[in-house]
Structure 1
């Protein structure tokens, strides 16, 4: 299971780096599962999660849910190919289940989530994920304008 957060104050590049190391590191190859690539992009106040799922029948093999404060994308990849060559039959079977989860801000409900699939990419829009997260500037005073510190 992989988890990315839509609600973070950490360095997004460090989080992406950790995601890539997790997806392509030794743990992923030992597990033998299918780990689709994912990215999170900000579009105004919305978050857009894109998950690469080429060749999948998303209506049959993919589920998108909001579960306990997380956006969860799960499914199964099944790919079978048979080839006849020189009187011999070659059959290749690739399969694997996957589950990707993304932490959601507390104010986001399932009603704010919509999903579409095009050209092998599942796009999930989380409306208002970044609403109210603008930085607030704090005035800095100097000299005699500074608040006094009382000593006990």
Structure 2
């Protein structure tokens, strides 16, 4: 039991440390996917970029949605078998439905999310909200400060 509590504490802590994370504990509520695309997530000064490998998936078969600060990527990879094939000796490639979900942090501007697809790679750009971008604050001289310099 202590191990499960530690695991939960670790995952909840990750939600606050990482701007975009997956939270799948104890189990996703949706039906299990046939396969999961691998994903890299990069933080840039103005955005977070999520890059997913979805080889063989047509862009029109991908659905990206945001609901309650959860970004979800769903899609289907269809198996195409030539009509001339009598039987398949080996089938190692993955086919069927896939789904990945990521919790967005408050620092993301969900209304400006963009997605692009090229050569089996899906790139989702999640711009940071203006309030989340770092900026410098100029210190103005007040009359009292000016007197200290004299």
TM-score by length of 2: 0.59
Distance 1:120 1:129 in 2: 29
Deviating beyond 3 angstroms after TM superposition, the runs of 4 or more aligned structure 1 residues are 91-94, 107-110
Work out whether 1:47 is the aligned partner of 2:48. yes
Let me know the Cα RMSD of the aligned residues.
3.8
1:113 corresponds to? 113
Higher strand proportion (structure 1 or 2): 1
Q: Verify the 8 A CA contact 2:54 2:121 in the aligned structure 1.
A: yes
Q: Verify the 8 A CA contact 2:107 2:131 in the aligned structure 1.
A: no
Cα gap change, 1:118 to 1:129, in 2 (>3 Å):
farther
Gaps of 5+ in 1: 20-30, 135-152
Q: CA deviation at 1:98?
A: 1.0
Distance 1:130 1:95 in 2: 40
Work out whether 1:9 is the aligned partner of 2:10. no
Gaps of 5+ in 2: 1-10, 25-31, 135-150
Cα gap change, 1:131 to 1:78, in 2 (>3 Å):
farther
Cα gap change, 1:133 to 1:120, in 2 (>3 Å):
same
How many residue pairs were aligned? Answer: 113
Work out whether 1:90 is the aligned partner of 2:78. no
Equivalent runs, 1:1-150 vs 2, <5 Å: 8-9=16-17, 33-59=34-60, 61-82=61-82, 84=84, 89-90=86-87, 95-128=95-128, 132=132
Q: Verify the 8 A CA contact 1:63 1:75 in the aligned structure 2.
A: yes
